[in-house]
Structure 1
C-alpha cells in the first residue's frame, strides 16, 4: 500500500515519531481517497463539520468539506497529491500536519503549495477538522 510505504519512509527518516505517524496516516488516507476519487473513504477521514480554506491568486475561499466532497466525480484522469517533508505536531488529542505538496494530473504537476491540516482524536481515531492549502504554479522540481 502506498500510504504505508510513505509512513514507513517518514519514520525511517527519524523526522516522524511513532506518535506523529498516526495523524499523518489519516492525512495520507485522505490524499489517497482524493486520488482514487473515493468520496466515502475521504469522508471517513473527516469530522462531519470539517472545513476547508483555499488560498490562490490573492483570494481566500472557505467552505465546508461536504461541499468539496460533492465535487468529486469519476474521471479517466489520474490525480495524485504527494506531500513532502511533513512537519507533524501532537499534543494529546490535537495534531497538525504541515507539508509541501504537488498536485499532479496524469503524472504532470498541475500546481503545488503547502497543506495545513488540523486533526483531533475522536474515540481513538484521528479525524481531520480542517484543511487549508495555498496553490501556485511556480513549482520546484522534486
Structure 2
C-alpha cells in the first residue's frame, strides 16, 4: 500500500547546529528526516563517522555543479568533507517533501549552504532512504548547486 505524505509548506526549517527538533507532519516523516539531518549536522561538525553511521554502505552521491554531473560512492563523498578548518559550515533545508512507501522513502527539499554565516550556494537536495533493521539510512543523495540564491 502506498502512503503519500508531505510536510506542509513552511512547516520545517531545519538548521544545522541548532537544537530545534525536526518539524514534520508525522512521527514517520520525522524518522525519515532524522538521518538526513544527522548527515548535515555531521558536515558542520566535520564528523565523518557520524556521516557513515547514517548512510547505507555502497550508496552514491550525485552532484550537479554548473553543467557537470559527478557521481561519487559514499566513501569518496565523505572523504571530500574537511576534517579540520575554522570556517563554520551550515546547511539549512526548507519545506521538505517526504514520501514513504513501506521501507523506502524520498526527501525532496530546498536548501541554502552557509559558510561563516553567509549564503555560499543553494539548490535542491534529494535523498532516498531505506529502512534496515528498523532504522532509516540514506541510500543515495543528489543535489543541485547554484550561486543565484534568494
TM-score between the two structures when normalised by the length of structure 1: 0.89
Measured after TM superposition, the shift of residue 133 of structure 1 is 0.1
Structure 2 CA distance for aligned equivalents of residues 75 and 52 of structure 1: 23
Equivalent residue of 1:76, what SS?
A: coil
Structure 1 CA distance for aligned equivalents of residues 18 and 102 of structure 2: 24
Given that 2:17 and 2:44 are in contact with CA atoms closer than 8 Å, whether structure 1 keeps it comes out as no
Residue-pair matches, total: 134
Q: Tell which deviates more after alignment, 55-64 or 80-89.
A: 55-64
Q: Which stretches of structure 1, 4 residues or longer, exceed 2 Å deviation after superposition? A: 1-4
- Rate the CA distance shift 1:48–1:133 in 2: closer, same or farther, 3 A: same
TM-score between the two structures when normalised by the length of structure 2: 0.85
Within 5 Å, give how 1:11-90 maps onto structure 2.
Answer: 11=24, 16-72=25-81, 73-90=83-100
Structure 2 CA distance for aligned equivalents of residues 60 and 131 of structure 1: 13
The answer to whether structure 1 residue 125 and structure 2 residue 135 are counterparts is yes
Structure 2 CA distance for aligned equivalents of residues 124 and 138 of structure 1: 40
- Rate the CA distance shift 1:18–1:88 in 2: closer, same or farther, 3 A: same
Q: Which of 1 and 2 has higher RCO (CA within 8 Å, sep 6+)?
A: 2
* C-alpha distance after superposition, 1:33-90 (max 9, x if no partner): 1111100001100011110000121111111010011122211111000100000011
Given that 1:3 and 1:32 are in contact with CA atoms closer than 8 Å, whether structure 2 keeps it comes out as no
Tell me which residue corresponds to 1:96: 106
Measured after TM superposition, the shift of residue 20 of structure 1 is 1.0
Given that 2:17 and 2:90 are in contact with CA atoms closer than 8 Å, whether structure 1 keeps it comes out as no
Greater percentage in helix: 1
Given that 1:104 and 1:110 are in contact with CA atoms closer than 8 Å, whether structure 2 keeps it comes out as yes
What is the CA RMSD across the aligned residues, in angstroms? 1.5
* C-alpha distance after superposition, 1:7-50 (max 9, x if no partner): 1xx23xxxx22211101011111110111110000110001111
